[in-house]
């Protein structure tokens, strides 16, 4: 059975433009958890992960990675598995 994709995801797949992986704020995870996750999954260095985490906290979201939809999708899935809120915009 073919997995159903929503309209937005279908449009992103067809349009292979550069996209942003956006991490959204939550009230659950600690700064250290988010920093460690960005280092592990997004290959950020410590300073980059700290800066992104601060932006997420104060601005509500931050683009943590840029690339094609196909490149960003597995990274997003790993962030979601770690219970972080992430979207591809």
Q: What is the pLDDT of residues 24-74, one digit of tens each?
A: 999 999 999 999 999 999 999 999 999 999 999 999 999 999 999 999 999
The H or E element that residue 34 is part of is helix 31-42
User: Considering the domain boundaries, does residue 19 fall inside one?
Assistant: no
User: Considering the domain boundaries, does residue 54 fall inside one?
Assistant: yes
Domain that holds residue 53: 28-88
Amino acid 82: pLDDT: 98
Domain count along the chain: 1
User: Considering the domain boundaries, does residue 81 fall inside one?
Assistant: yes
Other CB atoms within 10 A of residue 23 CB = 24
Measure CA of the first residue to CA of the last residue in the chain; give whole Å. Answer: 27
Q: What is the pTM of this model?
A: 0.82
User: Considering the domain boundaries, does residue 22 fall inside one?
Assistant: no
User: Considering the domain boundaries, does residue 7 fall inside one?
Assistant: no
User: Using an 8 Å Cβ cutoff, are 63 and 13 in contact?
Assistant: no
Amino acid 13: pLDDT: 53
User: Considering the domain boundaries, does residue 68 fall inside one?
Assistant: yes
Contacts 24+ apart (CB under 8 A), 55-62: 56/23, 56/24, 56/25, 57/25, 57/31, 60/24, 60/25, 61/22, 61/23, 61/24, 61/25, 62/22, 62/23
User: Considering the domain boundaries, does residue 61 fall inside one?
Assistant: yes
User: Considering the domain boundaries, does residue 41 fall inside one?
Assistant: yes
């Amino acid at each position: 059975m073919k997995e159903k994709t929503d309209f937005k995801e279908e449009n992103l797949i067809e349009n292979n433009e550069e996209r942003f992986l956006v991490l959204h704020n939550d009230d659950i995870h600690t700064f250290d958890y988010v920093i460690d996750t960005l280092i592990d999954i997004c290959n950020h260095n410590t300073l980059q992960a700290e800066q992104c985490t601060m932006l997420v906290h104060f601005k509500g979201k931050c683009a943590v990675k840029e690339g094609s939809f196909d490149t960003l999708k597995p990274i997003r899935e790993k962030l979601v598995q770690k219970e972080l809120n992430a979207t591809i915009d």
